A and B are shown apart, each in its own frame.
Chain A
Amino acid sequence: MSALAARQREFARRLLDGPVDGEAGLAVYRASVLSNFTTALAATYPVVLRLVGESFFAEAARRFATAHPSTSGDLNQYGDQFPAFLAAYPHAASLPYLPDVARLEWACHESERAPEVAPFDFEALARIEPDRYGELRFSLHPSVRLMESAHPVVAIREANAPGRDGTPSRAEGRDFVLVRRVDGGAVVSSLDEGEWRLLSRIGGGEAAFDDSLARYVSQGVIAGFTAPPCER
C-alpha cells in the first residue's frame, strides 16, 4: 500500500468516525461533508423533508450517510437507498406512507436524468397491419417509472408541493403511479389499475396491446416497438 493511500484511508476514517475534538480542521471537513450529503438528499426528497421537518430530516440524513456511503463523484447519484433506509428507520414508523413517498421522489429524480431516445416511429407502425399490433413488443421511454403503493402517494406529493397546505385530497387508497418526463421535468399521475398493469407488462418486455395504448404513444410514454419477423 502506498503512503498516499494510507494517509487518505486514515484521514477518511478520522473524518467519518473518529473524534474531532481539538481538531478544528477535521471538524470543518466533517461538517462540510455532512452538509453536502444532507443538501443533496433534501434536493431529491423535498416532500419527505416537508413531511418530517428539517431537524428530523437532518438526523435521518446523518444516519443514512453513515450507513450508506456515496459511491460516485456525482452527488446526483446519491440517495437511491434512502427509501429503503426510511422503511427500516424506527423513528419514521408512525408515517407508514413515508418510504413510498420517498420511492416516488427517487423515481422522479431518475426520470429527469434518464437518457433521451428517438421519437416514436409512426411510419414504421403504419406499415404493420392493425390486427398484428398484439404481436408487437412496445417499449417504454427510458424516463418512465411505474410504481404501486398501498398509500395515496400522488395526492400526498401534490399536497406538499411548494405553496400547498399539505392536506392531501385523499387520505387512503392504493395508487398505481406513472412517472413520465415532460419538458425536462417529471410529471406524476395516478392510473387506472388495468392500464398500469398493461404498461408494467410492456415494461417487463412482454408483447401486449389494447386500444388504450394509443394515448400512451401520443404522450411519449411508449417510445418504440419491435415487430416479430414478417411471414409472407
Chain B
Amino acid sequence: MTARACGRAGVGIGLRAQHLREILERLPALAFVEVHSENYFGDVAAAALERVRRDYAVSLHGVGLSLGSSDPLDEQHLAKLDELARRIDPIFVSDHLSWSSIDGRFLNELLPLPFTREAAAHTASRISRAQDRLGRVLLVENVSAYCTLGPGEMSEWEFVSEVARRSGCRLLLDVNNIHVNAANLGFDGQRYIEGIDPALVAQFHLGGHEARDAMLVDTHGARVAREVWSLFAEAVSHIGERPTLVEWDTDLPPLDVLLDEARAARLVIADGAARAAA
C-alpha cells in the first residue's frame, strides 16, 4: 500500500480515462482507485496503469469474465487478466455475479442469473476455476437487475452467499444495486444486508441510479441517492468497515464531485464506527 492510503478500510473512487491526468497531477488522498480491467489489457494501456500504481493502490474490476455463463470459460480473457494482475499487483481483482454470453455470442451486459441451486453450483465452479488460474481469491459483485431469469429456489442474498461459500470467493457488495433490485424486484433491502454473513464481504460499492418509468436503472451517472446512503449505513453497521468505492461512468462529472462523494462515504463509515464504539 502507498503512503497515501488512509487506513485499513478507506474509500476509493473509480478512475476513468478522462480523470487520469488530473488525478496524477493533484494526487488526492484516496485509499485506492478502481479501473475496469479490460480497458488496460495490452502493453501500452498496462504501462499507463503502472504509472498510476506508483501513487495509488489499484483494484482491477472486470466486466468480461461472464462468470455465470453456460459457455466455457474464456481462457484467453483470463490469460490477459492474469498478465495485467502480475504487472499491477492489485489490492483486489473483481468481476460480477452475472452472465453476458451464450453460444459464443456476447451481449457485453451484466445479465441476471436465476437463483437456483444449479446456477449457484455452476457459477461457483467457474469462479473456482478462474481463481485457480489467477492464483488469487476473486471478489464477485452482486449486479443490478430489471427482471429475473425465471423462478428461483432462494432469495438473491442466499444465492450470492451460496456462490461465495462454494467457491471461496468474497463478495463485493454493491449497495446501490441492492437498493435498485429491492425497488425493481420487490424485496426489502435491509433484509438482504442482514442476510449476508459479514465474513463473506470484502468490499462495498456505491454508485448512482436514475428512475425511468417504473424502474430504477443503475446508470452510474448520478450522485449516490439518499436511500442508498441509509442502506450503506445499515451495511456498515451490520457488516463492518470495508474498503469502499464510489463509481461513476456515464456523464462523468469533474473529479471534485467524485472526491466529494468519497468524503461523504468516509463520514458514513466514521459515524458507523463511532456508533459501534458507543
Q: Are B102 and A75 in contact (CB under 8 A)?
A: no
Known contacts A29-B146, A76-B38: A69-B70 contact under CB 8 Å: no
Q: At the interface, yes or no: A15 with Cβ under 8 Å from chain B?
A: yes
Q: At the interface, yes or no: B276 with Cβ under 8 Å from chain A?
A: no
Known contacts A12-B107, A73-B65: A28-B118 contact under CB 8 Å: no
**Contact digits for A107-119, partner B, Cβ 8 Å, 1 yes 0 no:** 0000011111000
Q: Which of B65, B77, B102 contacts A5 (CB 8 A)?
A: B102
Looking at chain A's contact residues, the main secondary structure is helix
Question: Which of B131-139, B210-218, B236-244, B251-259 lies at the interface with chain A?
Answer: B210-218
Q: Which of A3, A4, A29, A72 contacts B109 (CB 8 A)?
A: A29
Q: Which residues of B contact A37 (CB under 8 A)?
A: 108
Q: How far is the CB of A11 from chain B (nearest CB, A)?
A: 6
Complex CA gap A112/B114 in Å reads 39
Cross-chain pair count, CB within 8 angstroms:
117
Complex CA gap A69/B100 in Å reads 12
Q: Are B39 and A76 in contact (CB under 8 A)?
A: yes
Q: Are B42 and A113 in contact (CB under 8 A)?
A: yes
Q: At the interface, yes or no: A32 with Cβ under 8 Å from chain B?
A: yes
Q: Which of B74, B77, B113, B215 contacts A25 (CB 8 A)?
A: B215
Q: Which residues of B contact A114 (CB under 8 A)?
A: 42-43
**Contact digits for A167-184, partner B, Cβ 8 Å, 1 yes 0 no:** 000000000000001001
Known contacts A23-B147, A72-B77, A74-B38: A12-B212 contact under CB 8 Å: no
Q: Are B118 and A73 in contact (CB under 8 A)?
A: no
Q: Are A8 and B99 in contact (CB under 8 A)?
A: yes
Known contacts A73-B101, A74-B77, A184-B44: A25-B106 contact under CB 8 Å: no
Q: Which residues of B contact A181 (CB under 8 A)?
A: 44
Q: At the interface, yes or no: B63 with Cβ under 8 Å from chain A?
A: yes
Q: How far is the CB of A35 from chain B (nearest CB, A)?
A: 9
Would you mind naming 19 contact pairs between A and B with Cβ atoms under 8 Å apart?
A: A2-B118, A4-B114, A4-B119, A8-B111, A9-B70, A23-B147, A29-B146, A32-B109, A33-B109, A36-B109, A70-B105, A70-B107, A75-B38, A75-B108, A76-B39, A113-B41, A114-B42, A181-B44, A184-B47
List the interface of chain B (C-beta within 8 A of A): 38-39, 41-45, 47-48, 62-66, 69-70, 74, 77, 80, 99-109, 111, 113-114, 116, 118-119, 122, 145-147, 149-150, 184, 212-215, 217
List the interface of chain A (C-beta within 8 A of B): 2-5, 7-9, 11-12, 15-16, 23-26, 28-29, 32-33, 36-37, 40, 69-76, 78, 112-116, 181, 184
